[in-house]
Amino acid sequence: MPSTAAIRLQIETTLANRVPAALTLKIKQAPELFPTGISEVDAVLGGGVPRGSITEVAGAASTGKTSFGLSAIAAITQSGAACAWVDVSDALSPESAAAANIVLKRLLWLRMSAERKQRVTDKPWSRLEQALKATDLLLQAGGFAAIVLDMSDVLPQHTIRIPLATWYRFRLAAEQARTALIFLSQSLCASSCAALALRCEPASIQPFSGNGETDLFESQQYTLVRERNRNEISPFLHKKPSTRVEWRAETLWSRVR
C-alpha cells in the first residue's frame, strides 16, 4: 500500500498543471505602512500602521489614544493623501487637530452628534450605529488613505454588541480600498479582524516642575503596548511577545505658544 507521502506526491503532480496554486504555499507580502509621526512607536511597529488593514488602539481615558490618532493622520495628510475622522461622540477638537499639524483641507470630519449638549441624553448605541454605517459608506466610496473611527467615549458594553460580521466586512472593505482603518476604543473589540492591536497605558508620572524651572504640562508621557502584529512577511515567524514603548506628546498650549 502506498505511503501517505507517495499519495500526496501523486496528487500534487497530477494537479500541478491543472490547478497550479492548489497546494502551493503562499508567502504573505509585507503591507505598505503609514508612519505615525512618532519615532519610538514606528520603531516598534516596523514602520507604522498597515494600509489595507484594521489597527485597533485601545485604552482608558487620557492614555494617548487620540494623540496617537492625530499624529498618524497628520503624517498621512502631510504626504498629500485624504483622510476621514468618524467622531461618535463629537469629541474631536479642530484646534487640537490643527496644532497636531493635520492638513485640515484633506480631512473629512463626520460628527455623529451635532450638538454637544445632546451627548448626555442621546442613546450611545444610536450614535455608534450611525458611525458604523458612515464608516462603511466611506470604505465603499474609496479614496481615503486612512479612516479613524473614534469610539473613545463609548463604553465597552456597547462596543461588544457590534456583530463580528461587521468587523469582517470592514476588514475586507479596507483591504479592497487600500485604506488604513484605525479604531480608537476603550477595549479591543475587533478580535482577529485587526491586523495590529495596540493598548495605551499611562506612563510613569513626571514632576510638574523642578525648582520652578520647568513649565507645567509641557508634554505628556504615554506607554504603548503592541499586543498583536500580523504584518510579518512570513507566516512561519514566531509570534512576538507584547512589546512596550514610551513616547511623549506635546500639550496643545506648548505647540501654539
Which is more confidently placed, 180 or 228?
180
Per-residue pLDDT tens digits for 160-195? 999 999 999 999 999 999 999 999 999 999 988 999
Q: Give the C-alpha separation, 205 to 23, whole Å.
A: 54
pLDDT-derived band of residue 211, with 50, 70 and 90 as boundaries? Answer: low
Q: What is the mean pLDDT of residues 3-19?
A: 70
Q: Which of 55-64, 212-221, 224-233 is predicted least confidently? A: 212-221
* d(C-alpha 177, C-alpha 180), whole Å: 9
pLDDT at 257 over 90: no
Above pLDDT 70, what percent of the chain? 75
User: Given this model, what pLDDT does residue 233 score?
Assistant: 47
Give the β-pairing of 196-202 and 219-229: antiparallel
> Considering the entire predicted model, what is its pTM?
0.80
205 — pLDDT class (breaks 50, 70, 90) = low
Of 37-41, 169-173, 236-240, give the lowest mean pLDDT range.
Answer: 236-240
Q: In the prediction, which pLDDT does 13 show?
A: 72
For residue 170, CA distances in Å to 15, 176, 183, 241 come to 35, 10, 11, 27
Cα torsion 205, 206, 211, 217: sign = negative
Cα–Cα distance measured from residue 144 to residue 181, given in angstroms and rounded to the nearest whole number? 10
* Strand, helix or coil for residue 222: strand
Backbone angles phi, psi at 2, to 5 degrees: -60, 145
Q: What is the pLDDT of residues 98-135, one digit of tens each?
A: 999 999 999 999 998 655 444 444 566 789 999 999 99
Task: State how far Cα 237 lies from the chain centre.
Answer: 23
Calculated CA dihedral for residues 101, 102, 106, 112, nearest 10 degrees: -150
What is the percent of the chain where pLDDT is above 90?
A: 58
Q: What is the pLDDT of residue 14?
A: 72
Q: Which CATH superfamily is domain 26-202+216-256 in?
A: P-loop containing nucleotide triphosphate hydrolases (3.40.50.300)
pLDDT score at 121: 47
Cα–Cα distance for residue pair 139/147, rounded to 1 Å? 8
Distance, in Å, from the CA atom of 8 to the CA atom of 14, rounded to the nearest integer, reads 10
Name the residue with higher pLDDT: 67 or 234.
67
For 109, which DSSP code? E
Regarding beta strands 146-150 and 180-185, do their DSSP bridges make them parallel or antiparallel, or are they unpaired?
parallel
